[in-house]
Amino acid sequence: MIDPYGHPLTLPVINDILSRKRTEALITLMWYRINMDLSNPAVQANVDRLSGDREWRQQPFMGQRGIARENSFLDYFASKLRAKYLLPFRIGFDPEDKFKGERAKYYLLHASNHPSAVRLMKEVMWPLGDEDGTFDFSGES
C-alpha cells in the first residue's frame, strides 16, 4: 500500500516497483489535498515531487474545475503509471465530514500487470459498496 503524496514516493519509484514480476500496488491518491495544491504556488513542489517532473503544470486539468478536473487528473495520473491494469475505487466524504455531495476525498488505485491480480481485486472489492455513497466502484477496468 502506497501513499505517494502524504509519504512521498514518486511516480518513477512506483513504476520501478510495478516493473517487478508478480507485483501489484494499492495506491492511496489523496485527491482532495492534491486538488487544493495544484493551483497553490506555495506547495506545487509537492506535486512536482509526486510526478517526478513539472509536466503536470501544462496539463488540461489545470484549467478545469469540479468533476472534469478530477477525471482529467485521474486520467493523467493513470497514464503515467506503468500498469497494464488499473482499478480506481473512489472514496467520497463520510456523512460526518463537513463536505457533502459527490466530491471525492481520495482514490484507492489498484495497479498491476497481471490479469489474475486485477480479477481477484475486483472480486474482493465489488461487494463493498455502501449505502452512504462514500465508496464507489463500478466494476469497469
* Burial class for 7, CB neighbours closer than 10 Å (0-12, 13-18, 19+): exposed
Q: Tell me the pLDDT band of 138, cut-offs 50, 70 and 90.
A: very low
Which of 106, 100, 103 is closest to 74 using CA atoms? Answer: 106
How many CB atoms lie under 10 A from the CB of residue 138?
A: 11
Segment 81-122, tens digit of pLDDT: 999 988 888 888 776 666 665 678 889 899 998 877 777 777
Reduced to 3 states (helix: H, G, I; strand: E, B; else coil), residue 118 is helix
Segment 40-90, tens digit of pLDDT: 999 999 999 999 999 999 999 999 999 999 999 999 999 999 999 888 888
Strand partners, 25: 111
What does the longest C-alpha to C-alpha distance in the chain come to?
42
Q: Give the Cα separation of 19 and 113 in Å (integer).
A: 8
Reduced to 3 states (helix: H, G, I; strand: E, B; else coil), residue 29 is strand
